[in-house]
Structure 1
Amino acid sequence: MKYRLTPALFKQTESVLAQVLRFEHPADAVLSRYFRENRQLGHADRAFVAETVFAFLRRRRSLEAACSAQPDHRQRVLATLILARGWRSDDLNGVIKSSEKEWLAALPTFDTANLPPALRCDLPDWLYERLLAQYGEAEVVALAQALSRPAPLDLRTNILHGTREDVLRKLAEAGFSAVPGQLSPLAVRLRGKPALARQPLFLSGDIEVQDEGSQLLGLLLEAKRGEMVTDFCAGAGGKTLLIGAQMRNTGRLYAFDVSEKRLSKLKPRLARSGLSNVHPVRIEHERDSRVKRLSGKMDRVLVDAPCSGLGTVRRNPDLKWRQEARDIDELRAKQAAILAAAASLVRPGGRLVYATCSLLEEENGAVVADFLAQHPEFFPLSAAEILARQGIVLPGEPLPGESLRLRPDVHDTDGFFAAVLERRT
């Protein structure tokens, strides 16, 4: 420990955890609001609160199993510190009560072996069952373990400004420990989680924060100079910026999204990037007239569809607990509608990439299979071959079928799916 935990800070951690567990808002948003309202908390105190809350969310079910039958937030925090963060009961002197000492002393020997599989994997029952049917028990265990670890910090090189080697050299000169990504030729992986917001490389647009797996989704589009391209669900524009750089700042790149708030986050990133070929457009829905006006005109369209986000659980562990099985069924209908609308933009001979950050086949291959059955003018391309043309070879077994499937336990990226489709006529 680098500092002594006070009863006041412990109480604040309990309070934040209670707010997070209402699941009314994403955990990171709850923490951000709490820190804004409690500016007296120093950097170390904020880090303690955030790391403890996220550690609990990652291992919620097994940690609660180590508590009483009806655990309170105090027990949850104590169990997290001992079992998930490696603290000793001696580290908690001044915080623990005499009535808790016996329980705390026994905590390090708590054995999860006899827990039901979903609890051992720290997954809700419905999600465990769906993953089990899809992958099998051994793979689900490996996947769940990977999802319970924090994600690394990946950067993407802006090729309009320089090479990855330039970025690595400048990061080293600035005192950062960084290595090349293992998959994307644009990726740099930082050791630790250093602050970047005020770093010259970030302010100049030489780098952007983007998971290495997410970078591969953009590379599957293979956007070229002078083309007409649409990022159909652009959000804050991480993939938009990659695609614009692929196009070497030529042609025309539309960034569609239904959320003005998300698109507003693209604007400062766009300014840093040096791109002038990007046109952000807020649409009301996938059938918006601004979409219809571009029907059949696009060379390439990326659909990073709204999804459960379960592939990003390393970064957002509360996603496991904020969703239910019925939410996936509702999402699938939305995904199908968005994919069909995006497909209408693609010209004959053009390319359509459907992607999610989900691990569930219902949101991935099943959506694509239904689409292909209704749209015989499209046919699938091999994602492996497209990546190989760019010097990217994924480790492990060959890709199942033509689609890209990334998993944190296999590729050390977030979980992603992508299918590449080409329009014949």
Structure 2
Amino acid sequence: MANKLLNNNPRYLATQILNQVLNGSGYSNVLINQYLTQHQLGSADQRLLVQLVYGVLQHKLTLDYFLEKYLQQQKHLQTWVRNLLRISVYQMRYLDRIPERAIFYEATQIAKIIGGQKVAGLITAVLRNLQRDGWMTFDKLDKQKRLSIEYSVPQWIIKRLIKQVGLEKTTQILTSLNQPPKTSIRVNTAKISRSELQQQLEHDNFQVHPSAVSPVGLVIDQGSIIHSQWFQAGYCTVQDESSMLVAPALQAQDNSQILDACAAPGGKTTHLATYMQSGMGQVTALDLHANKLRLIEQNAHRLGVAEQITTLAMDARQVSQQFAPQTFERILVDAPCSGLGLLRRKPEIRYTKQESDLFDLAAIQLAILEAVDPLLTAGGLLVYSTCTIFEPENQQVIAKFLQNHPEYTAVKVQTDLALTKIHRGQFVQIYPDDYETDGFFIAALKKQ
């Protein structure tokens, strides 16, 4: 009965989503899409639902800091009650269009229906006390704790960032992470030019501008591209701007034989395929999960590059069992990683990852590089990329591989545009604040 009464209540649905995300049983973007499909919400309630889920995930540590002193006696507080409080405090702190009386009323009604009068009384008391006392400041916290609470990022991430890039850059990165993620698309230049697609989208009332990162990228400022005729007909695909730098780094030729060793979800795979319109070149795309390969195949058909792509379900560490030595002139290892460059797009990652994960993943990343090495021809190019920003998964992995393989040399990562904000050095490192994109790392290694 409770669910029926609350079936189309965006605050209740947001609470349900947060329960699942924060216990590790689902991803925010996937669950939001599921709930929006399953429940009949008006457009304003849909926007509120999305805003509440992402808002709480982006500010969870801050919200918990404000709530902490009111919940000290509630050691066994149910998860849904805590998330309902977080949603309410998020609205009070960050949304200025919703009156506090409406926030209190909605939270109390939800609590009463699900948990009864006692829980409703607790919710009311906490919110009223918070309203009376005002917001706690961060002034008495030490520097790292303050950054952690203020930007809602665990302290181990803060500590690593400061060590790697310094305090000023760390603060810039943290400030950028709670900005809304941009929607960017890669234009399928096999079908249309970027300028032509931009004109067509603007004609259809999209607000769009060219990417400053990739010459085949457009950024959608307003409008939902997925349901447009241009997306459905394969004129573009959704892909982050920094991810669009990977395919050019392979310097693929029209007749190249390319191995994409960790291919899903396939944005880079289909990008590589656009370099091979003669039909002579081929991208062999591997992934551990067959269902993910089916998504790559569907996307390839939509984009008209299916003939250039062959998929195979297998662990990239076992490639020598399937392919002969020196089969490929180009190999891409877009390695499984912590994903900590995606904190803006997937805010829950910051709470689910541990520092030890960086080193566990580095061992897997190095093993994949070792496995694909024999498959690369002499003179061939091996490109390693991740969507993370920390050196143990990036520079340190490449350093170990080069130490084991003196026949490889790190070469300059080729980009189509002169990107003045990225951190080049020997490799390409993009931080989330540089171009307001995902954080990314790319290394190009040439085999003698």
**Which TM-score applies when normalising by structure 2?**
0.86
Residue of structure 2 aligned with 1:166, choices 180, 189, 196: 196
Residue of structure 2 aligned with 1:104, choices 131, 135, 139: 131
Give the match's secondary structure for 2:283. Answer: strand
Are the equivalent residues in 1 in contact too, given 2:286–2:315 (CA < 8 A)? no
Give the counterpart letter for 2:137 in structure 1.
Answer: D
Deviations 1:314-365 (A, max 9, x none): 1100111111122222111100001112222211111010000001100000
1:420 CA displacement: 0.6
1:263 CA displacement: 0.8
Aligned-partner Cα distance in 2 for 1:30–1:208: 22
1:30 CA displacement: 3.4
Give the match's secondary structure for 2:377. Answer: strand
Give the counterpart letter for 2:340 in structure 1.
Answer: L
Deviations 1:43-97 (A, max 9, x none): 4333322221111111111121111333822220111112233444255363256
Q: Which runs of 5+ in 2 are unaligned?
A: 1-5, 72-76, 109-123
Residue range with higher mean Cα deviation, 406-415 or 372-381 = 406-415
Change (3 A) 1:422 1:352: same
Other-structure match for 1:282: 313
Residue of structure 2 aligned with 1:220, choices 244, 249, 257: 249
Give the match's secondary structure for 1:368. Answer: helix
Aligned-partner Cα distance in 2 for 1:412–1:218: 20
Are the equivalent residues in 2 in contact too, given 1:257–1:281 (CA < 8 A)? yes
Aligned-partner Cα distance in 1 for 2:315–2:443: 26
> Percent of aligned pairs with the same residue?
26
Aligned-partner Cα distance in 2 for 1:33–1:208: 21
- TM alignment of 1:28-177, pairs within 5 A: 28-35=29-36, 38-69=38-69, 70=71, 72-86=82-96, 87-92=98-103, 94-95=105-106, 99=125, 100-104=127-131, 107=134, 109-115=135-141, 116=145, 117-177=147-207
Change (3 A) 1:106 1:164: farther
1:223 CA displacement: 0.8
Change (3 A) 1:217 1:288: closer
Q: Which runs of 5+ in 1 are unaligned?
A: none
Other-structure match for 1:395: 420
Other-structure match for 2:113: none
Other-structure match for 2:114: none
Aligned-partner Cα distance in 2 for 1:285–1:226: 23
Are the equivalent residues in 1 in contact too, given 2:262–2:287 (CA < 8 A)? yes
Query: Is 1:370 matched up with 2:400?
Result: yes
Change (3 A) 1:321 1:341: same
Query: Is 1:342 matched up with 2:353?
Result: no
Give the match's secondary structure for 2:421. Answer: coil
**Which TM-score applies when normalising by structure 1?**
0.90
Aligned-partner Cα distance in 1 for 2:234–2:9: 41
Are the equivalent residues in 2 in contact too, given 1:58–1:122 (CA < 8 A)? yes
Give the match's secondary structure for 1:77. Answer: helix
1:17 CA displacement: 1.9
Give the match's secondary structure for 1:343. Answer: helix
Residue range with higher mean Cα deviation, 25-34 or 220-229 = 25-34
- TM alignment of 1:346-361, pairs within 5 A: 346-361=376-391
Change (3 A) 1:290 1:84: farther
Q: Which has the higher helix share?
A: 2
Count of paired positions: 410
Deviations 1:168-213 (A, max 9, x none): 0110111111111112000000103x32233111111111101110
RMSD value, Cα? 2.3
Give the match's secondary structure for 2:378. Answer: strand
Give the match's secondary structure for 1:191. Answer: strand
Are the equivalent residues in 1 in contact too, given 2:11–2:52 (CA < 8 A)? no
Give the match's secondary structure for 1:411. Answer: coil
Bigger radius of gyration among the two: 2
Give the counterpart letter for 2:297 in structure 1.
Answer: K
Are the equivalent residues in 2 in contact too, given 1:332–1:363 (CA < 8 A)? yes
Aligned-partner Cα distance in 2 for 1:139–1:145: 10
Residue range with higher mean Cα deviation, 305-314 or 93-102 = 93-102
Aligned-partner Cα distance in 2 for 1:104–1:112: 18
1:8 CA displacement: 4.4
Residue range with higher mean Cα deviation, 122-131 or 402-411 = 122-131
Deviations 1:375-422 (A, max 9, x none): 111000112xx22xx3x111237x342100111211221000000110
